[in-house]
Amino acid sequence: MAQATWEKPIDARAVLARGQKAERLKFLIGGVLLLGIVLYLVMSGTLLGARYFITIDETISDPQYAGQTVRVTGVVLGQTIKIDAESQETIITFTVSSFPADHPNLAEALYIGANDPNATHMQVRVVGQPKPELLRHEAQAIMTGKLNANGIFIADELQFKCPSRFEADAPVMGQQDHPGMELSGDAG
Amino acid sequence: MLAEIGLAALMLSFASALLAVGAAVYAARSGQARWLVSARNAAVATFPLLTVATASLLAALLTQQYTIRYVWSVTNTTTPTFYRFTALWGSQAGSLLFWTWLMSLFAFSAILINWRRYPRLMPGVVAYTMATVAFFVGLSLFLENPFERWWLDPATGQIIASALIPPGAVTPPIQILAEQAKGLNPLLRHFGMIIHPPMLYLGFVGFVIPFAFAMAALTSRDLSTGWIVATRRWSLIAWLFLSLGLILGGRWAYDVLGWGGYWGWDPVENAAFLPWLLGTAFIHSVMIQEKRGMLKVWNLVLVIGTFSMVMFATFATRSGLIDSVHAFARSEIGVPMFLFWAAMTSVSSYLILLRRREGLLRDDHRFTHILSRETLFVLNNVVFVALALAIFWGSFGAPISSELITGTEVTIGTEYYHIVTPPLFLLMYLLMGVAPLSAYGVTSLRRLGMGILYPAAATLVALALIFVTGTRGVGALLGYGLTLLAGFVAIWEIIRAAQARTRSKGESPLTAVVALFRRNRRRYGGYVVHLGVTVIGIGVIGSTLFQDDTERLLTVGESLTLQDYTIRYDGITLATADDTREMTIADVTVLRGGQELTRLRPRLDDFDGMAMTIAGQYSTLENDIYILLNDYTESTNTVRLWLYINPLVNLIWWGGLILIVGTLLGSWGGDGNAPLSPAQSSRAAQDDNPPTFPKRTKGETA
C-alpha cells in the first residue's frame, strides 16, 4: 500500500486485528440471533402444545383443569362402545374407567380398572375420525380433549395401547395336576 | 439342549468381553503388546460366541421349543415359519440379543480391519466396544434372559420361569405349553416388521464403532484425523441404515396403521430421529476437520452425542419411561440402561473438556469470514443440534422435568413440532443449497451468485408452474422453493463439473460424469443424496399440507366423491386366510373424471379378536388414493369408507431410494482408509473447492 509522507504509519497488525474483531462480532451477533429465534420457537411451541397429563378423577373433579384441553388415560369398557350407525360422520362414544397407573403389570392394572365397581367412569365422545382398530374392551385409551358442560369428554386425539389379553403371563397347569403326579406328554 | 448351549455361549461371551476390557486397559497402561493381542483375541471371540447364542435362539424358534419362555411368548403353533424367523426381534429379550450380536459383529470387523493401521487407537477401540458389548450381554444374562425356561415346581404346582434349573423342578408337559403359547402380535405380521427393526438396529449399533474410535482418540491423545478416516465408511453406512430404518418405519405405519400418516411425532419415533440428526451433522462436519483441521471439538461432541442419543433412545423405548404407543412393556432394564447412558455421556464429556484444556483440540485455522465453507458447516451443525434439542425437549425434556418439578406430567402435543421444526428444516434446505457453492476461507458473493444463478432460475420456473397449477399458500411455496433450490444446486454442480471435463479433456458427457464420481466419490455421491433429500422434502410438504379426506356410509352401488375422484362400493367378500385371520374385504372401484382407474380391496382383519385395518392404495407420483374400510354392517350390507388423497407422498419413498443410491455411490470402493499425506491433503483441499467458471481466472483465489 502506498503511503503519502504526511499520513500516519499504518500498523498492518492492528488493521488485521480490527478486521478479525469485526468478524468475531458478526459471528457473535449471528449466533445470539439464531439462539434467540430457536428459543422463541421452542417457547411458543411449548405454550401451544403443552397439555397436562392427568387422571380421570382429576379431569372430572379438579377445578384447576376445568375448561382446559388435557390429556387423560383410562381403560375402555368394551360393552359401552357405540358407533352411530345412521350418521354420515363417524360418531363414537364409549366409557373409560380409571385404573391404578402405578401397578407394575399394565395388563393387570387395566383388568382391575375395568372390573372395579368403585373406579371412576367417564364418557368419551369422538367425532370425525376413523374408528380405531384397537378400540376394544380393556384397551388403554390415551385421549387429548376437553370435558364439556355435560361431563362428557370430547376427544380430539385418541391413541390406544395394544391391550395384552389378561391371561396369565405364564402357562398354567390344569386342575387335576398335583405334586408327584406322573407327567406325561399329553396331560392337560 | 438349545437353551443350555445358548446360555453357555452367552456366559462365555460375557466373560470374554470383560476379559477384553481388562486386557486392553492393562495393555494401554503397561505398553505390553501381548496383552493387547490377548485383548483383541478376547474381543473378536465374542462374535462367534454370540453367533452361537443367537443361532440357538433362532433354532429354538424354528423348531418350536415352547419350553423356552421367549419362544412361548412370541410364537405359537399357528405361526408361519417366516414369522418364526422375525420373532427373533419380536420382543424385548430376543431383540436385545440380536442387537448385541450385531454389535459384536461390528466390533469384530472394525478391530480386525484396522488392527495394523491404527495401533495407537486399538486399546481404546477394544476397551470401549467391549465395555458396551459386556453391558448388553449383562442385561441379557441377568435381567432379560432369552434362554429362561418354563419349569414345573412340584411343591406348588405352578409353572415358573428360570434360566437355571430350580431345585426339584421338572419340565412341564409340552402339550400344555404349546397350547397356551402366545404368538406374535398381529401388528408385527407385516413386511415392515421384517426389515424396520433390523435396519434401525444396524444404524444404531453401527455408530458404536465411530464412538469407540473417538473415545480411543480422546483416551490415547491421538487426536489427528486418524479416528475420522478410519470410521468414515462405518459412519456413512450406519447413517444409511438409520435413514432406511426411519423411512421404512414411516412406510410401515402408513401401510398398516390406518390413519393415512407416516410420522406422528411420537416420543419413540423422535427418539430414533435424534441420533439421525446428530449423525447427519457429524458426517458433514468431519469434512472440515479432514480438509482444514477445524471443528475438532464439534466432531467429538457430535459423534459421542450421536451414540449417546442411541443409548438414550434404547433406554426410553425399552424401559417404559415414556407413554407411547410404541413402547415396549415396562421392564427392569430401565435403571441399568439409564446408568450406562449417564456414565458414558459423563466420561466422554469429561475427556473432551480435559483434552481441550490440554490444548489438543485447537483449530488449525481461524474462522475468517462469515460466508466461508467452515462457517456454513458450523451453522449446519447448529441447525441440526437445535433440531435435536428442540425435539428432545418436546418428547422427553418437558414431560420428565415437569413431572419431577411439579408432580404433574405435562406432555407436548404435535402442535409444538409443527411450530418449531419447519423453520429449522427450511434453514437446513437453504444451507443445502448454498454451502456446496462455498469455498474455504472466504466466498466472494460473486462466486456464490454465479454458482446459484442457474439453480435459482430453475427453481423460479418450477415455482411458477406450481403456482399456476393451484398452490397458493406462502408457506408451501417457500417450502417447495427452498427444497427445489437445494436439489437444483446438486444437479447443477454435477453438470458444471462434467462440462468442465468435457471442455478440457474432450470426454463425452457420460464418461465425464462417471469420471467425476470415481475421482471424488464423496462429493458427488453426496450430491445424489441431497437430491434424494430434496425429493423426500417435496413429498413431505405435499402430503402434510395438502392431505384431503372424507368419509361416508355406503350401501352397495353408492359412491362418494372427493376432488375429481369417485369411489364406488361394489360389494363385500368374507374370507379366512391361511394364518387364521378373518378378513372382511370391500370391493371398491376408483374413478377419476368418470373414467375407471382401478379396483381396490380395503379390508378389516380380525386375528382372534385383535383388529387390523389394511388400506386399499392406488399410488402414483402425483398422489396416493388411500381407502379405509372402517366398519361393516352385515344386515344392511353397509360399509363406512374413508377416502384420503395424499399428494406427493410417494416421493418420500422414491427419495429414499435415491438416498440409498447416493450413499452407496459415496462410500463404495477402495478410496483407502489410510490417512492422507500432507501433499495429498493440500491437493484434496484444493480439489474440494467447487470448480470455478473457466472464464473467471483472474483474481479468483480458491
Nearest to B152 among A73, A157, A183 (CB): A183
Q: CB within 8 A of A126, min separation 6: which ones?
A: A90, A91, A92, A93, A154, A155, A158
Q: Is B382 an interface residue toward A (CB < 8 Å)?
A: yes
Cβ within 8 Å, pair A133-B628: no
B152 interfacial to chain A (CB closer than 8 Å): yes
Above 70 in pLDDT, residue A181?
Answer: no
DSSP B556: T
Distance, CA of B490 to CA of B512 (rounded, Å): 16
**Integer-rounded Cα radius of gyration of chain A:** 32
> Does residue B412 carry a pLDDT above 50?
yes
Distance from CA of A51 to the nearest CA of B (A): 5
In degrees, rounded to 5, the angle at the alpha carbon of residue A67 between the alpha carbons of residues A61 and A68 is 95
pTM equals 0.89
What local confidence, expressed as pLDDT, does residue B696 receive?
36
Residue (of B16, B99, B15, B18) closest to B57 by Cα position: B99
Is the CB of residue B168 less than 8 Å away from at least one CB of chain A? no
Q: How confident is the model at residue B467 (pLDDT cuts 50, 70, 90)?
A: very high
Q: Which residues of B touch A179 (CB under 8 A)?
A: 154-155, 157
Give the residue with greater pLDDT, B209 vs A174. Answer: B209
B375 interfaces chain A, CB cutoff of 8 Å: yes
The three cell numbers locating residue B655: 427419495
Nearest in space to B25 (alpha carbons), one of B304, B17, B231, B138: B17
pLDDT at B210 over 90: yes
Q: Is the pLDDT of residue B220 over 90?
A: yes
B70: contact with A, CB 8 A cutoff? no
pLDDT confidence band for A103 (50 / 70 / 90)? confident
Residue in B155, B552, B609 closest to A179 by CB: B155
CA neighbor of B258 nearest in space, from B615, B623, B647: B615
Q: Which of B366, B409, B417 sits opposite A53 (nearest CB)?
A: B409
Q: Out of B259, B411, B640, whose CB is closest to A51?
A: B411
Instruction: Nearest by CB to B323, from A30, A142, A187: name it.
Output: A142
Q: Under 8 Å CB-to-CB from B252, ≥6 apart: which residues?
A: B190, B191, B192, B193, B196
Residue in chain A lying closest to B184 (CA): A164
Name the most confidently modeled range: A32-41, B151-160, B359-368, B668-677: A32-41
Write the residue in A85, A90, A188 that is nearest to B633 by C-beta. Answer: A85
Chain B residues with CB inside 8 Å of A87's CB? 553
Contact A188/B173, CB-based, under 8 Å?
Answer: yes
**Closest chain B residue by Cα to residue A137:** B609
pLDDT in tens, B548-563: 999 999 999 999 999 9
Question: Do B323 and A45 count as a contact with CB atoms less than 8 A apart?
Answer: no
Write out residues 131-150 of A within 8 Å (CB-CB) of B.
131, 133-134, 136, 142, 144
- Closest residue of chain B to A135, computed from CA coordinates: B611
Please give the backbone phi and psi of residue B186, each rounded to the nearest 5 degrees, phi first.
-55, -35
Residues 5-24 on A with a CB inside 8 Å of B are 20, 23
A138-142, A152-156, B402-406, B670-674: range with lowest mean pLDDT: B670-674
Are residues A98 and A55 in contact, defined by beta-carbon separation less than 8 angstroms?
yes
Determine, for residues A173 and B159 on separate chains, whether the beta-carbon distance falls below 8 Å. Answer: yes
Instruction: Tell me: pLDDT of B81 over 70.
Output: yes
Q: Which of B176, B368, B609 sits opposite A171 (nearest CB)?
A: B176
What are residue B487's phi and psi, to 5 degrees?
A: -65, -45
User: Among residues of chain B, what percentage have pLDDT more than 90?
Assistant: 67
Chain B residue numbers touching A106 (CB-CB < 8 A): 329-330
Chain A residues lying within 8 Å of B91, measured CB to CB = none
Tell me the shortest Cα–Cα distance from B146 to chain A, in angstroms.
15
ipTM associated with this complex: 0.82
The whole-angstrom distance between B416's CA and the closest CA on chain A is 4
CA B683 to chain centroid: 34
B669 pLDDT higher than 50: yes
Is B177 part of the contact surface with chain A (CB cutoff 8 Å)?
Answer: yes
pLDDT at residue B594, as a whole number: 87
Instruction: Report the C-alpha gap between B389 and B170 in whole angstroms.
Output: 53
- Pick A88 or B49 by higher pLDDT: B49
B154 pLDDT exceeds 70? Answer: yes
How far is A138 from A75, CA to CA, in rounded Å? 5
Per the CB < 8 Å rule, is A49 touching B329?
no
Q: For residue A164, give the chain B residue with the closest CA.
A: B185
Query: Which pLDDT belongs to residue B168?
Result: 85
The answer to whether residue B416 neighbours chain A at the CB level (below 8 Å) is yes
Q: Which amino acid is at B310?
A: V
Phi and psi at B392, nearest 5°, equal: -60, -45
Instruction: State the distance between the two ends of chain A, measured CA to CA, in whole angstroms.
Output: 102
**B205 lies within 8 A of chain A by CB:** no
Whether residues A51 and B412 touch (CB distance < 8 A) is answered with yes
The pLDDT assigned to B324 comes to 61
pLDDT tens-digit series, residues B265-306: 988 899 999 999 999 999 999 999 999 999 999 999 999 999
Average pLDDT, chain B: 89
Task: List CB contacts (< 8 A) between B417 and chain A.
Answer: 45, 49
Does B404 score more than 60 pLDDT?
yes
What is residue B546's predicted lDDT score, i.e. its pLDDT? 93
- Flag whether residue A185 sits within 8 Å of chain B, measured between CB atoms: yes
Q: How confident is the model at residue B409, as a pLDDT?
A: 87
CB–CB of B416 and A49 under 8 A? yes
Q: Is B326 in CB contact (< 8 Å) with chain A?
A: no
- Does A102 contact B at CB distance below 8 Å? no
> What is the model's pLDDT at position A186?
35
Interface check for A171 against chain B (CB to CB < 8 A): the answer is yes
CB contacts of B409 in chain A (<8 Å) are 52-53
Give the least confident one: A44-48, B82-86, B529-533: B82-86
A166-175, B490-499, B582-591, B599-608: least confidently modelled range = A166-175
Give the CA distances from residue B563 to residues A88, A124, B542, in Å, rounded to whole numbers and listed in that order: 18, 32, 16
Contact at CB, A133 and B611, closer than 8 angstroms = yes
Name every residue whose Cβ is closer than 8 Å to that of residue B409 and which is 6 or more positions away in sequence.
A52, A53, B399, B402, B403
Q: Which residues of B620-637 are buried (b: 16+ CB within 10 A; e: fewer)?
A: eeebbbbbbbbbbeeeee
* A187 chain-B contacts, CB cut-off 8 A: 173, 175-176
Taking 60 as the threshold, does the pLDDT of residue B701 lie above it?
A: no
Assess A29–B contact: CB distance below 8 Å, yes or no.
no
| In contact, A117 and A86? CB cutoff 8 Å | no
Q: How many Cα atoms sit within 13 Å of B418 on the Cβ side?
A: 12
Nearest to residue B531, comparing CAs of B661, B424, B427?
B661
B interface mutation test: which of A33, A37, A38, A75 has the most B CBs within 10 A? A38
pLDDT number for residue A132: 85
Crossing angle of helices B122-142/B208-220, nearest 10°?
A: 130
Count the alpha carbons within 13 Å of B128 in the hemisphere toward its beta carbon: 27
Residue in A closest to B638 by C-alpha? A85
Among the partner residues B185, B420, B612, nearest to A42 by beta-carbon distance: B420
CA dist A48 and B608 (Å) reads 41
pLDDT at residue B327, rounded to an integer: 54
Reported as a single tens digit per residue, the pLDDT across B119-141 is 999 999 999 999 999 999 999 99
Contact A53 B552 (CB under 8 A): no
* Cell of residue B387, nine digits: 433440531
3-state secondary structure of A140: strand
B601 neighbors B619 (Cβ within 8 angstroms):
no
Query: Model confidence over A52-75: pLDDT tens digits?
Result: 999 999 999 888 888 889 999 999
Determine contact, residues B131/B25, Cβ cutoff 8 Å: no
Q: Nearest-CA neighbor of B218 among B343, B123, B109, B283?
A: B123
Which residues in chain B are contacts of A167 at CB distance < 8 A? 180
Average pLDDT in the A26-46 region? 91
* A177 neighbors A188 (Cβ within 8 angstroms): no
